[in-house]
Amino acid sequence: MIFLTALSLFWIMISASRGGQWGAWMPSSISAFEGTCVSIPCRFSFPDELRPAVVHGVWYFNSPYPKNYPPVVFKSRTQVVHESFQGRSRLLGDLGLRNCTLLLSNLSPELGGKYYFRGDLGGYNQYTFSEHSVLDIINTPNIVVPPEVMAGTEVEVSCMVPDNCPELHPELSWLGHEGLGEPTVLGRLREEEGTWVQVSLLHFVPTRETNGHRLGCQASFPNTTLQFEGYASLDIKYPPVIVEINSTVEAIEGSHVSLFCGADSNPPPLLTWMRDGTVLREAVAESLSLEVEAVTPAEDGVYLCLAENTYGQDNRTVELSVMYAPWKPTVNGTVVAVEGETVSILCSTQSNPDPILTIFKEKQILATVIYESELQLELPAVTPEDDGEYWCVAENQYGQRATAFNLSVEFAPVILLESHCAAARDTVQCLCVVKANPEPSVAFELPLRNVTVNETEREFVYSERSGLLLTSILTLRGQAQAPPRVICTSHNLYGTKSLELPFQGAHRLMWAKIGPVGAVVAFAILIAIVCYITQTRRKKNVTESPSFSGGDNPPVVFSSDFRISGAPEKYESERHLGSERRLLGLRGEPPELDLSYSHSDLGKRPTKDSYTLTEELAEYAEIRVK
C-alpha cells in the first residue's frame, strides 16, 4: 500500500514538471527535531511556450508576496538571505530541472512556519506559487496509541519520528516497556506527501494492571549529543472488578451501620447499592458507602453492590445481620381440649441469634429447645391436672420476652371426697364439691322426701366456683329428728356423677335434741361419775398400802393420786374437775360436744387402776368443741 502511494506521488511530480501551467508541489507540512536539519521536497512547472535560458527561484518565509518584504530564505540570483537564515539554507534541487528542494540546517524554534517558493524565468515571467509547506520544529517523539485499548486484547503501539534530514538519521528505542513485549523496528518509511518517518512498533496484551503505565520512546542521533524522549500513559479500558467490600456485618438493633463498596475499572463505574431489587443508592465513583442509621430487624438481609461500565459489570453481596432480643412469642395450637385427647401447642418467636425457648407450668419446665425459633409441646391424653396457665419464654443475650396462655381441659364432673353433710342443732348443711369443666350443674336429691333442690333455689342452695371447683351448700333447717339421705348429682355435657353424701359427727344431732339444759344435766352426771371413780381408787390404795414394806422400791404414785400436803379432798376433786373443764374448753355454760356414743355406754367400759382421769375421759368421750 505504501509502495503504491509513493508511486502515485512520483507520477504526480513527473507530470507536474512537464506540465503546461504554473504550478508547484511540496508537502503541506513537515517536521524535524530541533538542532537537526530538514529537506523540504519541491517541484514546480511553468508553461511550455516559455523557454527561459536560465531558471531562478526564491524561497520566502511566512508570506508569498514580495511587496510585503517577507524574509528571504534562499535566492538563487544574489544569494542574499535574511539574517535568520544565513548559513542555514541552501538549495538541494536543480531549478533547471524544475526541482526546488530546500535544505535548512541547525534548526531552531523560530524557523518554524510557512515556506513559499517563487519561480523567476526572467522579465515578467515570475510567479509566486500559493502552495506552501509548514515546518514544525519538535523536540519529542510521537507515540501513537490506538484510541481504544482493551485489557486482554493485543495492541500495537508505535513510535514515529521524522527522518527528513539527509545528514542525520534517528535511532529509536523504547523506555519502560519491560514486561510488555519486545519492540519491532520497521525502519524508514515514506509518508503520503513525500516526507519520511522512522517507525518502531511494540506489540503486547495489556492488563488492568498496565492501565496508566508510562511508556516512553527515545530518538537519538549517532555521533551527536542529540536525544529526544517522549512518553505516553496507557489508557487501558476494562470492566469493573469490586476490590473492596464489607464482609458479613453484625450490628445490634439501633446502632449505626456503614456498608462500603470499592471497584476498579476504566472508565470509572456506576456503583449501585441494592436490596431485594430496590436501588438504595448509586453514583459514578470508585467507591460508594451506604449508611444505615438506627438499624432495625427489618433491615436485616443481603445487600448487593453492583459495579458496571461500558465494558462489563461485577457484583458482590454482603450480609447484614441485625442482632436483637426475641419478639413476644406467639402461641398457635390447641387451647381447649377434652380429657384424654392429645394436645399440640406450638410456641414461636423471632430473634437474632435464635433464642432459648422454654414452656413452663407452675415453675416446672415442660419443654425447652436451644437456638431454635419454634418449640412444640405435646401432651398425650390430657387430664384435668394439665388445665391451667402456661408460659412460653424466649431469651437470648439481648433480652427476654414471655407470653402466657391457658390450656382448658374439659371433662365430666368428679365429686370430691370432702363432700359431706353435717348437723348443728336444728340445721343440716350439705357440702358438695365438684371438679368439672365446663362448669356443671349441681342438684341435691332427698329421696326419702322425694324432693330435688338445684342451684336456682337460692333460699336453700349457695354455689361458688373457684377455678375448676364448684362448691354447692345445701342448708336444711328444722332437722332435729334424724339426718335425711342426701344425694348430690352433677352434670355437664361430658357426663353425670352422683354421690350420696355421708354425715359427719352424728352425735351432734343428739346434742341438738337434748338442748342446752339436757347438756348441763349430762355433764353433771359425768362429773359425779368421775368423782366416784376417783374416791374409790383412793380408798383402795390406802387399804393396800400396809402390804408394801419400807424396802428399796417406793410405792407407785399415779398422776391422779398426787395432792398438795394439807389440802382437803374437796380441793383435789375441784382441781381435777377444773383441769378437765379446761380441757373441754368450758367457760360457764358447757359447749356443744361431739360424742361418739351415748351416755348409756359409759358404764360398759372396764376401768383400770393405772388410768388417769384424763385418759379415762378420752377413752369414753371424743370431745370436739364446736
In CATH, the number for domain 330-410 is 2.60.40.10
Per-residue pLDDT, 399: 95
Task: Give the residue among 591, 582, 613, 432 at the shortest CA–CA distance from 511.
Answer: 591
Residues of the chain with CATH 2.60.40.10: 18-137, 140-234, 241-318, 330-410, 416-504
Per-residue 3-state assignment (H helix, E strand, C coil) for 100-160: CCEEECCCCHHHCEEEEEEEECCCCCEEEEEEEEEEEEECCCEEECCCCEECCCCEEEEEE
Give the separation between CA 345 and CA 388, rounded to whole angstroms. 14
What are the residues whose beta carbons fall under 8 Å from the beta carbon of 204, sequence distance 6 or more? 154, 155, 157, 177, 180, 181
Cell 551527536 sits on residue: 224
Residue pair 288/318 in contact (Cβ under 8 Å)? The answer is no
Tell me the longest C-alpha to C-alpha distance in the chain: 205
Regarding beta strands 469-477 and 441-446, do their DSSP bridges make them parallel or antiparallel, or are they unpaired? unpaired
Q: What is the pLDDT of residue 5?
A: 40
Q: How many other β-carbons are positioned within 10 Å of the β-carbon of residue 186?
A: 13
User: 444 is written with which cell numbers?
Assistant: 341435691
Please name the residues in contact with 548: beta carbons below 8 A apart, sequence gap of 6 or more: 555
Write the pLDDT tens digit of every residue in 469-497.
999 999 988 765 556 789 999 999 999 99
Kindly report the CATH class assigned to 140-234. mainly beta
Given 3-state DSSP classes, what are the helix, strand and coil percentages for the chain, each rounded to the nearest 5?
20, 45, 35
Closest to 338 measured CA to CA, from 436, 416, 415:
436
pLDDT number for residue 226: 94
- Contact (Cβ atoms closer than 8 angstroms) between residue 529 and residue 607: no
Let me know: does 369 contact 351? Beta carbons within 8 Å: no
3-class SS at 614? helix
pLDDT digits (tens, 9 = 90+) for 495-538: 999 999 998 865 444 444 445 555 555 567 777 776 777 676 66
- Please give the distance of CA 420 from its chain centroid, rounded to a whole number: 64
Sequence-ordered list of residues with C-beta below 8 angstroms from that of 31, at least 6 positions apart, any chain: 38, 135, 136, 137, 138, 162, 164, 195
The edge-to-edge listing of strands for the beta sheet with 236-245 is 149-150, 236-245, 257-266, 287-292
CA atoms within 13 Å, Cβ hemisphere of 11: 6
Q: Are 73 and 59 in contact (CB under 8 A)?
A: yes
Check if the beta carbon of residue 494 is closer than 8 Å to that of residue 471: no
- What one-letter code names the amino acid at 138? I
**Exposure of 624 in the CB half-sphere (CA atoms within 13 A):** 12
Task: Kindly report the CATH number that applies to the domain delimited by 18-137.
Answer: 2.60.40.10
Please give the pLDDT value at position 621. Answer: 35
Burial of 456 (C-beta count, 10 Å sphere; 0-12/13-18/19+): exposed
Task: Report how far apart, in Å, the C-alpha atoms of 328 and of each of 113, 351, 391, 404 are.
Answer: 89, 10, 12, 10
What order do you get walking across the sheet with 441-446 strand by strand? Answer: 451-454, 441-446, 487-492, 495-500
Q: Are 98 and 129 in contact (CB under 8 A)?
A: no
Check: CATH 3.40.50.300 for 416-504?
no
Q: Which residue has the cell 527528513?
A: 164
C-alpha cell at 241: 472488578
CATH T-level fold of 241-318: Immunoglobulin-like (2.60.40)
The set of cell numbers assigned to 605 is 367400759
Long-range residue pairs from 458-462, CB within 8 A, at least 24 positions apart, any chain: none
For residue 67, the model assigns a pLDDT of: 83
Q: Judge whether 356 and 395 are in contact, CB under 8 Å.
A: yes
pLDDT for position 311: 94
Task: From 199, 206, 155, select the one nearest 179 (Cα to Cα).
Answer: 206
**Residue 513: strand, helix, or coil:** helix
3-state secondary structure (DSSP) of residue 517 = helix
Whether the bond into 240 is cis, omega within 30 of 0: no
Q: Cβ neighbours of residue 359 under 8 Å, at least 6 residues apart?
A: 345, 347, 365, 366, 367, 368, 375, 377, 390, 391, 392, 393
Backbone φ, ψ for residue 408 (5° rounding): -105, 115
Nearest to 66 by CA among 128, 114, 122: 128
pLDDT < 70 positions in the chain: 1-20, 185, 334, 479-483, 505-523, 530, 534, 536-626
Determine the Cα angle at 114 with ends 113 and 116, to 5°.
Answer: 150
Place of cell 358404764: 603
d(CA 360, CA 402): 10
Identify any residues that bridge with 227 across adjacent strands, giving them in sequence order. Answer: 220
